Amino acid sequence: MNIRMLPLRNLLGRPFRTLALLLIAAVMSASVFGGMAASASLQNGLSSLESRLGADIIVLPDDAKAAVDLKNILLQGTPGYFYMERSVQEGIAAVEGVAQTSSQYYLVSANAECCTVQVQIIGFDEETDFSVKPWLKQAYSGQLGENEIIVGAALSTQTGHSLKLYGVECKVVGKLEATGTGLDTAIYTTDNTVRTLIRAAEEKGIHVLSRQSPDDMLSSVYVKVQDGYDIGEVEAKINLTLDGVQAVRTRSVLTGTADKLAVISGSIRLLIVVVWVLVVVILTASFSVMASVRRREFAVLRTLGFSRRQLVRIVMTESSAICFAGAAAGLLIAWIAVYAFGRQLEIRAGLPYLLPDVLHTVVYALTAAAAVWAAGMLASAYSAYGLSHTDAGNILREGD
């Protein structure tokens, strides 16, 4: 009989009570860790998207659908396309305060071997691009040739494989890291390749453009504003100067999302605090009830020669064991939930979602475990004190 094992024997000897307390600890740990991880994932997704857009202003065709489509492409991965005259780019470049422009060409795959659904194809101008290439470098450092593509992290193909798009064999030369956004389901290539694909589509009777030549069209123009110029003013100038286009600040594309994120993050933080307080109250009540039930048991231990400190240690060890085991269970459940339902959140709420890296995940897990442990210690401290200061002789007499 090892007295160090006594707390464990107490826990195992009362499985229902232990299980109930474990469940409480698990709920708390899951809510703290899940909340932190989910909140961080949303923030990461937004930051990743912001950094990938890389432009101050995006110019689109002047219809509401184009703006909605762009947002859906970026955030939800819903494929879309829209076009405007290529000449627009020159007009934009001529606006005062514009430092750099680069066009992008959007197309939706009819059917790709990699995927059960249509995927977004984004073509960029190799010569002028400043928005896509910097982060494409992580997957491919060379120059993209004709019919070469880089795929998003969520597509089930690998570097070195080929994909047939509109009958054109395209070689996968790189695969990007996850961003937690719609960009993960996209294919990146040059605008020339997109034009080739449009022509291939036309040959198959799929009319992407009504009458125009692919060479005369583009989908959007990414604009970098010169230092010293106000982005808002340049945006207004473009809108005033050019007909048939709408210039939108990149940040405004994401403003709604950022606002939504702020609300969600705030709610999550509030939820964490509420759950923590509730758990402390529930655990305190549970330990108090237990203390009352266990007075006789502790009085017996006292008569056997256990010191007050040893009795406190028994209660605190039991509480710690429950908290850590419950925290571990909660962390596992929350991690699965955050991982499994993250994509659903991304799709249904239209929010970017990028899981935190290992280091941050560990930090959140430790924080959650510490929060549960602190709650357990706080809740059991009073009971431990009470149990260790019982009048053993009289308690044992009271019981009969």
When the beta carbons of 3 and 277 are compared against another protein, the nearer one is 3
Q: Which residues pair with 175 in a beta bridge?
A: 151
Contact flag: residue 303 with another protein (CB under 8 A): yes
Residues 221-280 that bind another protein (CB under 8 A): none
Contact flags string 310-329 toward another protein, x per CB under 8 A:
x-------------------
Q: Would you say 286 and 379 are in contact if contact means Cβ atoms under 8 Å apart?
A: yes
Contact flags string 67-96 toward another protein, x per CB under 8 A:
------------------------------
Binding test (CB under 8 A) with another protein, winner from 142, 169, 305, 358: 305
At closest approach, how far in Å is the CB of 335 from another protein?
33
Cα separation, 42 vs 259, in Å, equals 12
Contact flag: residue 347 with another protein (CB under 8 A): no
Rounded to 10 degrees, what is the CA torsion of 19, 25, 27, 28? 170
Phi, psi at 186, each rounded to 5°: -100, 160
At closest approach, how far in Å is the CB of 22 from another protein?
17
List helix spans (H) across the chain.
Answer: 6-13, 15-53, 64-75, 88-94, 133-136, 191-203, 231-241, 250-293, 295-304, 308-349, 358-388, 392-398
Cα separation, 129 vs 101, in Å, equals 8
At closest approach, how far in Å is the CB of 393 from another protein?
3
When the beta carbons of 176 and 311 are compared against another protein, the nearer one is 311
Contact flag: residue 1 with another protein (CB under 8 A): yes
When the beta carbons of 226 and 307 are compared against another protein, the nearer one is 307
- Tally Cβ neighbours within 10 Å of residue 213: 11
Q: Closest by alpha carbon to 168, among 197, 134, 126?
A: 197
Binding test (CB under 8 A) with another protein, winner from 231, 237, 297, 385: 297
In whole angstroms, how far apart are CA 81 and each of 157, 236, 239, 274?
23, 24, 21, 45
3-state secondary structure of 173: strand
Residues 5-64 that bind another protein (CB under 8 A): 9-10, 12-14
Residue whose structure tokens are 């698990």 = 26
Question: Which tokens go with 167?
Answer: 């009958």
In whole angstroms, how far apart are CA 360 and each of 54, 340, 357, 394?
25, 18, 5, 53
At closest approach, how far in Å is the CB of 313 from another protein?
12
Question: Which tokens go with 347?
Answer: 């799709």
DSSP string, 113-156: TT-SS--EEEEE-TTT-SSSHHHHTTT--S---TTEEEE-TTSS
Tell how strand 220-225 and strand 120-124 pair up: unpaired
Q: Which window, 107-115, 175-183, 307-315, 359-367, contacts another protein (CB under 8 A)?
A: 307-315
Binding test (CB under 8 A) with another protein, winner from 127, 228, 304, 359: 304
When the beta carbons of 12 and 68 are compared against another protein, the nearer one is 12
Contact flag: residue 160 with another protein (CB under 8 A): no
At closest approach, how far in Å is the CB of 317 from another protein?
14
Residue whose structure tokens are 């109250």 = 281
When the beta carbons of 222 and 298 are compared against another protein, the nearer one is 298
Q: Would you say 53 and 255 are in contact if contact means Cβ atoms under 8 Å apart?
A: no
Contact flag: residue 392 with another protein (CB under 8 A): yes
Q: Which window, 104-112, 350-358, 368-376, 390-398, contacts another protein (CB under 8 A)?
A: 390-398
When the beta carbons of 301 and 323 are compared against another protein, the nearer one is 301
Contact flag: residue 283 with another protein (CB under 8 A): no
When the beta carbons of 8 and 270 are compared against another protein, the nearer one is 8
When the beta carbons of 211 and 309 are compared against another protein, the nearer one is 309
When the beta carbons of 2 and 141 are compared against another protein, the nearer one is 2
At closest approach, how far in Å is the CB of 10 from another protein?
5
Q: Which spans of this chain sit near another protein (rule: CB under 8 A)?
A: 1-3, 9-10, 12-14, 296-297, 299-310, 391-394, 396-397, 399-400
